[in-house]
Amino acid sequence: MKRRAKLLSWIVLIALLNQGCSTPQSSVATGAGIGGLAGAGVGAIADPGPGGNNRFRNVVIGAAAGSLVGAGTAYAIDRGNHDATEEGKKQGRKEAEDEANRRNQMNGAGGAPTLVPPKTEAKWMPDSVRGSTFVPGHFEYSIVSPARWEAQQ
């Protein structure tokens, strides 16, 4: 019996760890499966009555109840994650709009110029031997045009 419980706990643990990155349907299905397994395990452990006549019934009831609880929990967690993600996106959009408005106001009133970053170029240099020194392959970076300030219009 201990061996079965240990195996069941490993299966549940692996299923929980796989839950990390999934779609809502997958989350609910995984939650229902994990809940069903856990419920069936609890049902198998529960008192089967005289002569063990009710063990199968206990397993079926435990699996059904566990599936419902697992699916409901997974759905609630997924909704919470979705709502938090949407709220973060809305906040990011609002902050970007506020920053754009602030820059437009500054530029209209003789605001600060913008620094244009330099343009660079990367070139792969293969393995080579220089004198008696081996130089492994590497990138060499060069500045094509330097950084410059650009006035806003």
Domain that holds residue 94: 2-108
Residues 121, 57 within the same domain? no
pLDDT at 65 over 80: yes
Q: How confident is the model at residue 54 (pLDDT cuts 50, 70, 90)?
A: confident
Residues 81, 46 within the same domain? yes
Helical (H) or strand (E) element with 68: helix 55-108
Residues 50, 76 within the same domain? yes
Count structural domains, the chain: 2
42: nearest Cα among 72, 76, 12: 12
Instruction: Give the range among 38-42, 86-90, 106-110, 119-123 with minimum mean pLDDT.
Output: 106-110
Residues 103, 132 within the same domain? no
pTM of the model: 0.46
Rounded to the nearest integer, the mean pLDDT of the chain is 81
Q: How confident is the model at residue 147 (pLDDT cuts 50, 70, 90)?
A: very high
Residues 99, 143 within the same domain? no
Averaged pLDDT, 30-55: 84
